[in-house]
Amino acid sequence: MNPISAPRGTQDIVPPESADWNRLEAECRDIAHRFGYGEIRTPMFEATELFERGVGETTDIVEKEMYTFRDKADRSMTLRPELTAGTVRALLQHNLLAQGPQRLYYIGPFFRYERPQAGRYRQANQFGVECFGDAGAEADVEVIQIAARLIARYGIDDAVLHLNSVGDATCRPRYREALLAHFRPHLAELSDDSQRRLERNPLRILDSKDARDAPFVRDAPTFIDLLCEPCRAHFDALRGYLDGLEIAYVVNPRLVRGLDYYTRTVFEFTSAALGAQSTVCGGGRYDGLVAALGGPPTPGVGFGLGLERFLMMVRAVAGDRPPLRRGLQAIALGEGALARLVPIVSALRERWTQPTFADWQDRKLTAHFKVADRNAARWALILGDQELEANEFVLRDLDVRTDRRLPLASSAAEVARVVVEATT
Ligand code: ATP
Ligand code: MG
């Protein structure tokens, strides 16, 4: 029988790589908590209509990328392609906006039917934050800063923050007209997607990755010149705050985000380390979204950061450094030593925060050291017949390859205490 593989575009994450994921998720949580954001967890699937309304029917996501299926009761369901729509749905369902502003973060998988390649998967993971109820540029800065902190914490210094404003209901129609006037004469030369979208949503053409659209996108009018006064003031305030906090950015007038519900601020973090999929984090303000999903008009701003792409950047910065050694490999040579080692390992696992690895098989010492290397253990505790006789055990530092002989007390707890003391 042929073994079964994971679906295309999905990944298994196994040790030691999973440790990188654990650390990254812990850093995301730590930063979000420092900013006063609490975690929200929503279902992996929702009614299809939620994404049609909350992401937008002319987006790539809704037009091409959703995993939609009928359940046994013939309801149309979709595996979440992003996490903002579900977050808003939950806020409305539990009436949380009535309590005032909400600051939330999420970490979890999303699903998009895309052509798999480096940095582009069918199941991937996002860390995201959402701040609801605060219309001022202070909230935009707060959100941008969360992503910037994470990037700084990992020392990724080639990351660039791109910033733009896509206006609001007052000035966007003017910009729409300007774009229509610009693109219409070239309609036949545009990509199929752009031809289809021109009349419905010409802003989306700016976001096109199709080479046929590129020359016309390059010459398109910029929104910055057409912003209404309040949108301009918001953008200026945001820039002032970023300057004051010394967060570097470039204004990128071509930046529109893939989702329809953005208003005013849009931003992205990009990195050359990512190759073709250069965006690691995308976000912005979406003051119309909550109302579009049937809630009270409520401003919002947030971002989604792709964790797979983030780890690609981290690895590009760190290179192939050997893993940090930590913990202890417990090694018994012979049956008598094995019996003594079991309670010692148990005591270590109780007392010590570092991992205690034990491989209970009867192996030669060199084979045990290979296991220790695979575990990236820093220390080895070695117990054989000789040591039992002398009431000692050997503690080897696997980093510098030196041995110490330490007393083997009769109480396992005492041995554990000696080990912890000798290794700190
Ligand atoms: P792209 O332009 O690369 O398709 P997007 O605009 O569709 O990105 P968003 O919907 O803004 O992406 O999602 C936020 C982040 O999630 C992206 O910046 C990226 O890091 C990550 N992301 C999006 N799609 C994928 C995918 N298929 N695989 C892995 N990560 C992804
Ligand atoms: Mg996309």
Please compute the mean of the pLDDT values over residues 29-45 and round it to a whole number: 98
What does the pLDDT read at residue 203? 87
* Residues with a CB atom less than 6 Å from ligand 1: 82, 112, 114, 119-121, 124, 126, 258, 277, 279-282, 304, 306, 308-309
CA 177–ligand 2 middle distance (angstroms)? 26
Which residues, 6 or more positions from 344, have their beta carbon under 8 angstroms from its beta carbon? 330, 381, 383, 412, 415, 416
Domain co-membership, 336 together with 280:
no
Please indicate, yes or no, if residue 179 is contained in any of the structural domains. Answer: no
Dist CA 72 CA 396 (whole Å): 60
The sign of the CA dihedral 69, 72, 77, 83 is: negative
Q: What is the pLDDT of residue 353?
A: 94
Q: Indicate left, alpha or beta for 140 from its phi (over 0: left) and psi (-120 to 50: alpha).
A: alpha
* Confidence bin at 184 (pLDDT 50/70/90): very high
- Continuous H helices in 229-300: 229-244, 289-292
For residue 189, being part of any structural domain is answered with no
Report if residue 183 sits inside a domain. Answer: no
From 209, 277, 281, 311, give the residue whose CB has the most ligand 1 atoms within 8 Å, as the site to mutate. 277
Q: How far is CA 186 from the centre of its chain?
A: 39
Q: Same domain for 332 and 314? A: no
Write down the pLDDT at residue 208.
86
**361 and 287 assigned to the same domain:** no
State both tokens at 371. 């296991």
Q: What's the burial of 248, exposed, middle or buried (CB within 10 Å: 0-12/13-18/19+)?
A: exposed
Ligand number, closest to the Cα atom of 259: 1
Residues 279 and 346 in one domain: no
pLDDT category of residue 283 using cuts at 50, 70 and 90: very high
- Region 386-404: mean pLDDT is 96
From 93, 90, 91, 63, select the one nearest 78 (Cα to Cα): 63
Shared domain for 231 and 307, answered yes or no, is yes
**C-alpha of residue 225 to centroid of ligand 2, in Å:** 28
Question: What are the Cα distances from residue 38, in Å, to 26, 41, 129, 144, 223?
Answer: 14, 10, 9, 17, 35
* Average pLDDT of the residues in 141-158: 96
* 140/261 same-domain check: yes
pLDDT in tens, 241-281: 999 999 999 999 889 876 667 899 999 999 999 988 899 99
Atom of ligand 1 nearest to the CA of 277: 3
Let me know if residue 188 belongs to a domain.
Answer: no
**Cα 230 to middle of ligand 1, angstroms:** 30
For the chain, what is the mean pLDDT? Answer: 94
Flag whether 216 is in a domain: no
Query: What is the strand order of the sheet 45-47 is part of?
Result: 45-47, 76-79, 67-70
Rounded Cα distance, 397 and 378, in Å: 6
pLDDT score for 318:
84
Examine the domain organization and report whether 351 and 229 are in the same domain.
no
Ligand 2 center to 233 CA (angstroms): 30
Residues near 181 by beta carbon (within 8 Å), at least 6 away in sequence: none
* Domain boundary, last residue among 295, 318, 341: 318
Question: Relative to the alpha carbon of 305, which ligand is closest?
Answer: 1
By most ligand atoms within 8 Å of CB, the mutation choice from 151, 266, 309, 311 for ligand 1 is 309
Which helix (DSSP H) or strand (DSSP E) does residue 174 occupy?
A: helix 172-183
Nearest CA to ligand 1 atom 14: 304
What b/e readout covers 270-291, taking b as 16+ CB neighbours within 10 angstroms? bbebbeebebbbbbbbbbbbbe
Distance of CA 16 to the CA centre of its chain: 18
Q: Examine the domain organization and report whether 312 and 347 are in the same domain.
A: no
Return the exposure string of 134-159: e unless at least 16 CB atoms fall within 10 Å of the residue's CB, then b: bbebebbbbbbbbbbbbbeebebeeb
CA angle 399, 401, 405 (to 5 degrees): 120
Q: 362-385: b or e for each residue (b if 16 or more CB lie within 10 Å)?
A: eeeeeebbebbeebbbbbbbbbbe
**What pTM does this model have?**
0.92
| C-alpha 223 chain-centroid distance | 30
137-153 vs 229-244: helix crossing angle, rounded to 10: 40
Average pLDDT over residues 16-35: 96
Tell whether 242 and 166 lie within a shared domain: yes
337: CATH: 3.40.50.800
In order, the DSSP letters of 332-362 are E-SHHHHHHHHHHHHHHHHH-SS-EEE--S-
418 has pLDDT over 70: yes
pLDDT value for 404: 97
What separation in angstroms does the CA of 158 have from each of 184, 278, 283, 305? 38, 11, 19, 16
Q: Are 162 and 47 contained in the same domain?
A: yes
Residue 126 counted as domain residue? yes
**Quick one: which atom of ligand 1 is closest to the CA of 268?**
18
The tens digit of pLDDT for each residue in 62-81 reads 999 999 999 999 999 999 99
d(CA 207, CA 194): 10
CATH of the domain at 313: 3.30.930.10
Closest by CA to 67, choosing from 21, 124, 107, 106, is: 124
Region 29-56: mean pLDDT is: 97
Radius of gyration for the alpha carbons in the chain, expressed in angstroms and rounded: 28
The atom number, within ligand 1, closest to the CA of 258 reads: 6
Domain containing 243 equals 17-171+223-318
Which atom of ligand 1 is closest in space to residue 209's alpha carbon?
2
User: Do 381 and 272 share a structural domain?
Assistant: no
Last residue of a domain, one of 288, 318, 348: 318
| Structural domain ending residue among the three candidates 283, 318, 353 | 318
Residue 206 included in any domain: no
Residue 296: the pLDDT is 96
Indicate which residue's Cα is closest to atom 24 of ligand 1. 120
Please tell me the residue having the least CA distance from ligand 1 atom 7: 258
pLDDT at 260: 67
User: Is residue 357 in a domain?
Assistant: yes
Q: Are 400 and 306 in a shared domain? A: no
Residue with tokens 């997607």: 193
- Weakest mean pLDDT among 203-217, 271-285, 372-386: 203-217
Number of domains composing the chain: 2
Give the distance (Å) from ligand 2 centre to CA of residue 60: 7
- Going by CA atoms, what residue is nearest to atom 29 of ligand 1? 120
Pick from 273, 24, 340, 50: nearest CA to 153 = 24
Ligand 1 geometric centre to CA of 280 (Å) = 7
Given pLDDT bands bounded at 50, 70 and 90, which one contains residue 200?
confident
Nearest ligand to the CA of 121 is: 1
